[in-house]
Structure 1
Amino acid sequence: MSDDPLRVVIADDNPVVRAGLTALLSAHPDFLVAGQAADGREAHEEARRHRPDVILLDVRMPRVDGLTALPHLVPLAPVLMTTYSGETGIVHEALRLGASGYLVHGEFTAEQLLAAVRDATVGRAHLTPTASTALLTAVRATPACTSTCASATNPTPTPGELPSSAHHFPQTPSQAQAVVAHSLLSQREVEVMELIASGMTNQQIATTCFISQKTVKNHINRIFAKLNADNRGQAIALWHALGKAAAHG
């Protein structure tokens, strides 16, 4: 394991918030603030320049906001939302677009922030209470939908050049990619999902469950369809997030 500090880019239009986050991270030798940005475009530029391990991203910023920048940043590094915005639709949309966690200011300690940054590098999501409540509200209020429906209702922007101005924020929750609830899955699918979340490969899952790899793939395809997840990482992040939220609910 590398002893190099985790490199972080902080994006927030409020210089006081940037300074505070920088101070919290810089106080620990395991973290290095590699760059700072005041909007989504600058965040993209800083991420491409510094290749950080994690990006801390605000939602409401001038010119290019966090949700607009998010799909362009996710391919570069795990993105942890750090923001005052706790609205249900925004939390839901941020997770749908690939955020690795959602922390609302005033609801996390310095140690919780450090743990969230560390865990983001291994795909383990952290949500503060407001974000957990918002996500559960969206889950309970939104019926399941096919991936086709989700993409047609809220298409994910294709990574590339960022627009010069911010998009409007979503006013209602997007469909289903964050709809992760144990009640959607069979008992066997829950078992397989737990093994996926533990980091097992298809072969390891097959051995553990005494089933073939083809059967594992069939289970995974059904799990992804029910959760409306496009990939393992997205399913795992939401699974962990909903598990924590349920534990506090």
Structure 2
Amino acid sequence: MDEPTTVLVADDNSVVRSVLREMLHGQGPLSVVGEAGDGERALELASTLRPDVTLLDHRMPRRDGLSVIASISAHSRVLMLTRTVDEDVVLAAIRAGAAGYLVHGQFGPAELRQAIQAVAGGEAHLSPTAARVLVSSVRRAPEPRTADRHGLSRREREVMELIAGGLSNGAIANRLVVAVKTVENHVNRVFAKLGARTRDEATAIWRGPRRRA
């Protein structure tokens, strides 16, 4: 008899963990061998249990999902399972070593099981939104070097342009269809990279060199 594919479930929401466990219970060669409610515990269990696949959420306490992907990947294949569809997060997860990326609401029990088996077998599996992000990233033409002079990512440059256009964080969130908290995180990173303390100062730094170029 074939050995079951072992799975570690890592999500800070106990209800989500319970639902995932139910979705996988009694479904052929799949076995949930552990659960974690934060990134630090997920890494600990991955290193000791060495599951075939770790279902990993993005936003978790102690350590978030992105920060432990590379380390967990040394012991287990990582399948991101999250509500986050922000382009920077999707790309960062794949670059860090995630073998798959599923978005809540875009898969059912059958696809989850298929994704786990695919990832366990060395393949990749992406939700439609994550797949579009990757395709868009690959197809995007190289940008002028001046666009990267401050070290901003594509999404951070997009946020900075909207800041320069006078939009509030809430308005930016609506424009980009992301959470306000996500925008706040982008703004904090933008200000740090620009060395700015206010929106006006950031705009002056961002716009000034372009006019002189």
| TM-score (structure 1 length as normaliser) | 0.56
- 1:9·1:55 contact (CA, 8 Å) conserved in 2? yes
Q: Which has the higher contact order (CA 8 A, sep 6+)?
A: 1
Q: Does 2:44 align with 1:45?
A: yes
Residue-pair matches, total: 151
* Larger helix share, 1 or 2: 2
Alpha-carbon distance in structure 2 between the residues aligned to 1:112 and 1:62: 27
- Determine the structure 1 residue equivalent to 2:129: 130
Tell me how far apart the structure 2 counterparts of residues 124 and 153 of structure 1 sit (CA, whole Å).
Answer: 31
Distance in 1 between the 2:141 and 2:102 partners? 23
Q: SS at the partner of 1:13?
A: coil
Residue matched to 1:103: 102
In 2, Cα distance between equivalents of 1:56 and 1:171: 26
After superposition, the Cα gap between the structure-2 partners of 1:140 and 1:76, relative to the gap in structure 1 and judged at 3 Å, is: same
Change (3 A) 1:5 1:69: same
Q: What residue number does 1:33 align with?
A: 32
| Counterparts of 1:132 and 1:103, CA distance in 2 | 10
For residue 97 of structure 1, report the CA deviation from its aligned partner: 0.7
Identity percentage of aligned residues: 42
Aligned to 2:58: 59
Amino acid at match of 1:68: S
Aligned CA distance change for structure 1 residues 142 and 20 (closer, same or farther; 3 Å): farther
C-alpha spacing 1:57/1:170, structure 2 compared with 1 (3 Å): farther
Q: What amino acid does structure 2 have at the position aligned with 1:15?
A: S
Shift in Å at residue 34 of structure 1? 0.3
Higher gyration radius (CA): 2
Find the counterpart in structure 2 of residue 121 from structure 1. 120
Query: Which segments of 5 or more consecutive residues in structure 1 lack a partner in the other structure?
Result: 145-151, 155-168, 173-249
Which residue matches 1:227? none
CA contact 1:93–1:170 (8 Å) conserved in 2:
no
Contact 1:89 1:171 in 2 (8 A): no
Give how far 1:141 is off. Answer: 3.2
Tell me what 1:72 maps to: 71
SS of equivalent residue, structure 1 residue 123:
coil
Contact residue 81 and residue 101 of structure 1 kept, 8 A: yes
Q: Which amino acid aligns with 1:41?
A: E
**1:125-163 C-alpha deviation (Å, 9 max, x unpaired):** 11111111222222233639xxxxxxx999xxxxxxxxx
Q: How far apart are residue 49 of structure 1 and its match?
A: 2.0
Check the 8 A contact 1:53/1:78 in 2, yes or no. Answer: yes
Provide Cα deviations, 1:189-235, integer angstroms capped at 9, x if missing partner: xxxxxxxxxxxxxxxxxxxxxxxxxxxxxxxxxxxxxxxxxxxxxxx
Q: 1:137 to 1:19 in 2, by over 3 A?
A: same
Q: Is the 8 A contact 1:89 1:170 kept in 2?
A: no
1:10 matched to 2:9: yes
Q: CA-atom RMSD, angstroms?
A: 2.5
Structure 2: any 5+ residue segments left out of the alignment? 144-150, 154-183, 188-213
Distance 1:153 1:78 in 2: 30
- Whether the 8 Å contact between 2:5 and 2:120 is mirrored in structure 1 is no
Query: Structure 1 residue 171: deviation in Å?
Result: 4.5
Task: Give the ranges of 4+ consecutive aligned residues of structure 1 lying more than 3 Å apart after TM superposition.
Answer: 169-172
CA distance in structure 1 between the partners assigned to 2:70 and 2:90 by the alignment: 14
What is the TM-score normalised by the length of structure 2? Answer: 0.65
